[in-house]
Structure 1
Amino acid sequence: MTKKTTYVLVHGGWHGGWCYKRVAAPLRARGHEVYTPTLTGLGERSHLLAAGVNLSTHVADIVNLLRWEELTDVVLCGHSYAGMVITGVTGLVPERIRSVVYVDAYLPEEGQNMLDMVPEPFQKSFQASASKNGGLIMPPIPSEILGVNPRDRAWVDAQCTSQPYATFLECVAGRGAVERLGKRMYVYAAGWGETPFTAIYERLKSNPSWTLREAPCGHDVMVDMPELLVELLLEAAA
């Protein structure tokens, strides 16, 4: 009998817990416990979007989930921007985390914010997008730019909501705690060209304590290749 694992799957920028539907269902069918929280101000919680929502808010979202659902020995997964979130969470409650899975995600050093890790063209694009909206929010990036498969682009675009810009500006601590975990995996989406995550993946190649995997698809691995992500999450729990 397969040992039950608790998974907490955290979505990236502009997304919501909805994006993990195709991953959560098969994991639950195998008997695992799966949480797909939506961060404050996004998805079905988009009515809570406000200027004060920042990275600390989103870290607290997940820390509070772990606390009040009494979750321990968790496989904590973060996609894209959520690499910042799960790093902060691990820094605060490392005793609750079994392993972390970064899915085409930002992996900050101590005291870095997200904009520190993106190439200048991306920085300018994010800044311009926010400035058009009072410096507070960024409308969603079209899914085509993220390499989402053509069949699912309309669905992803309809589901995505604006991102609080402050979430990209706040620094985070926790990388040291991440490196002290027993198991760490990075999943690189290799099917959408040179991206902000290429450099992170290349740097990790020299660190034997990380398990590295590639997904031959666009940025939204949980949408494009959910079956592969399920298998990788099972591997991260082993």
Structure 2
Amino acid sequence: MTDYVLVHGAWHGSWCWARVRRLLTAAGHQVFTPTLTGLGERSHLLSRDVGLDTHVADVTNLMAWEDLRDIVLVGHSYGGAVVRHVADRMPDRIRSLIYLDAFVPENGKSLFDYMPDGGNVMRQLATAHGDGWKIPPMPAAQFAVNAADTAWVDRQCTIHPLSSCETQARISGACDSIPTIGYILARGYDGPFGQFYAKAAERRWWREELPCGHDVMLDVPNELTAFLLQRA
């Protein structure tokens, strides 16, 4: 049995992992899908104090209190920044680190540093619709979510704290010492993630591609689960 910890991206929550969670559990594994503070069913906890550090603590605390070791840690989209910090702080507890169409920030860089517009659109949305510190959810169709799930995803997504995307990463490099590291790219979404996929090749991480939209776990849960089992 393997312990999996699956971390969602911006605006999402544990709900987005339900299909993959069921498949992994049916295969005999233990699966944790924490909802980050201020999102999903924990959206009532959102405040100006919630940011990237809070979300890193959400996952490190889960691992500590559940005494999880030898785990497979997966981060999707914004969750890539979260798991990178978690792996940097607790590398001895992680067997495999997987970035799923995710940000992989370098030390001193924020997520906005990797976006073509430097995050200007997100800041404008926060100013116009989020009191200057909250980013309203982007339409699911913009992330090439499959048509059958688009309306449901739009209903499920919640506001995300702007500061979490502006915070500079504090990485020592220990995260890159994990025994197995990989990157899965969603080929059906034209986002900013190709640069991290290319960097993964330079680092000699394993790489895979899937022909789907950004929410890989919703579009192709069976194929994604197969990769997670194979690469564990």
Equivalent position of 2:227 in the other structure: 232
Cα offset for 1:29?
0.6
Superimposed CA distance per residue, residues 12-71 of structure 1 (whole angstroms, 9 cap, x where no aligned partner): 000000000110001001110000110000000000010110100000000000000111
Equivalent position of 1:83 in the other structure: 80
RMSD: 1.1
- Counterparts of 1:150-229 in structure 2 under 5 Å? 150-174=147-171, 176-193=173-190, 195-208=191-204, 210-229=205-224
Q: Number of residue pairs matched?
A: 231
Superimposed CA distance per residue, residues 167-192 of structure 1 (whole angstroms, 9 cap, x where no aligned partner): 11112223612211110010000012
Contact 2:133 2:163 in 1 (8 A): yes
Cα offset for 1:207?
2.7
- Counterparts of 1:82-101 in structure 2 under 5 Å? 82-101=79-98
Please tell me whether residue 7 in structure 1 is matched to residue 10 in structure 2.
no
The letter for the 2-side match of 1:31 is G
Distance in 1 (CA, whole Å) between partners of 2:228 and 2:158 is 26
Distance in 1 (CA, whole Å) between partners of 2:219 and 2:54 is 29
Distance in 1 (CA, whole Å) between partners of 2:39 and 2:202 is 36
Distance in 2 (CA, whole Å) between partners of 1:228 and 1:173 is 33
Distance in 2 (CA, whole Å) between partners of 1:235 and 1:110 is 30
Q: Bigger CA drift: 196-205 or 59-68?
A: 196-205
Equivalent position of 2:36 in the other structure: 39
TM-score by length of 2: 0.97
Contact 2:4 2:29 in 1 (8 A): yes
Cα offset for 1:113?
1.1
Distance in 2 (CA, whole Å) between partners of 1:71 and 1:129 is 38
The letter for the 1-side match of 2:214 is H
SS in 1 for 2:225: helix
TM-score by length of 1: 0.94
Equivalent position of 2:17 in the other structure: 20
Cα offset for 1:236?
2.2
The letter for the 2-side match of 1:78 is G
Contact 1:138 1:164 in 2 (8 A): yes
The letter for the 2-side match of 1:212 is R
Distance in 2 (CA, whole Å) between partners of 1:175 and 1:137 is 29
Q: Which runs of 5+ in 1 are unaligned?
A: none
Q: Which runs of 5+ in 2 are unaligned?
A: none
SS in 2 for 1:228: helix
Contact 1:41 1:163 in 2 (8 A): yes
The percentage of counterpart residues that share the same residue type is 46
Superimposed CA distance per residue, residues 194-223 of structure 1 (whole angstroms, 9 cap, x where no aligned partner): x20011112322332x01000100000000
Contact 2:37 2:55 in 1 (8 A): yes
- Counterparts of 1:118-129 in structure 2 under 5 Å? 118-120=115-117, 123-129=119-125
Distance in 2 (CA, whole Å) between partners of 1:73 and 1:204 is 22
Distance in 1 (CA, whole Å) between partners of 2:46 and 2:121 is 21
SS in 1 for 2:193: helix
